[in-house]
Amino acid sequence: MRRIGVVDDQRDFTVSALRSYLSPHPELKITAAAETVPELLALEPELDLVVLDLLLGDGSTPFDNVAALDARGVPALLFTSGEEPELVRMAARAGARGMVKKSDPPTTVVAAIRAAANGESVVSPDLATVLDADPAFAPHLSPQLQRVLALYAAGESERDIAEIMELKPNTVKAYLGRIRAQYAELGHDNLSRSELKRAARLGAFVRRPWFQLRRES
């Protein structure tokens, strides 16, 4: 049996729907659910997969949520409506095992859950198009460099980044140099701070207040 967790700010509705999808498949069982990733992890469940809503009500980012689950050894399958392409790319960069749309037929959702729980990568055709939208613009940065870039693009100074990440200021400066060098390899030389900020957003590295933007729109 594969043990499935669910994280969605509409937890009851989503769990009810997924349980109806999975009822003919006893080998796939929802054993834990929560409205946020920290809430789920606090339950200390034994899980083979977490079905994770792309955009949660606590204002967290897909990068942080996928990374937090990964740190506990639990893979994530993004369950998304497919909007917010930057967030989809962000989740992919954080290491999400797969993504499936909420509008997909139940059979497609079940197949994605089974595949992801068995260690396979899953991306629907629509989401694959989103992921492939700008492959030439974004370099492959390590998680540490992604965090530095996200903070820098969000307006933090090198000194503040060093304090937040518990690094030496010279280390942060060196990391920013490595980031710029990787962009330069893609043909984007001598990026100013504003240009680097724009590049970070296009590449889905920067963390923005998505929860507030969605609620206010």
pLDDT digits (tens, 9 = 90+) for 9-62: 999 999 999 999 999 999 999 999 999 999 999 999 999 999 999 888 887 878
Residue with tokens 């507030």, as numbered in its chain: 212
Which distant-in-sequence residues (6+ apart) come within 8 Å of 17 by Cβ?
A: none
Give the pTM: 0.67
Would you give the distance in Å from CA 16 to the centre of its chain?
A: 24
Lowest mean pLDDT among 71-75, 112-116, 201-205: 201-205
What is the topology classification, in CATH, of domain 143-216?
Answer: Arc Repressor Mutant, subunit A (1.10.10)
- CA–CA dist 18, 189 (Å, integer): 47
Question: Rounded to the nearest 5 degrees, what angle is found at the Cα of 208, between the Cα atoms of 204 and 213?
Answer: 115
Tokens of 16: 């009810």
Backbone angles phi, psi at 75, to 5 degrees: -75, 160
Which distant-in-sequence residues (6+ apart) come within 8 Å of 198 by Cβ?
A: none
pLDDT at 136 over 60: no
2-131 sits in which CATH class?
alpha beta
- CA–CA dist 202, 151 (Å, integer): 15
Query: 187 or 162: whose pLDDT is higher?
Result: 162
Please tell me if the domain spanning 2-131 has the same topology as the one spanning 143-216: no
Tokens of 45: 């469940």
- CA–CA dist 33, 50 (Å, integer): 9
Where exactly are the structural domains of the chain?
Answer: 2-131, 143-216
Query: 206 or 146: whose pLDDT is higher?
Result: 146
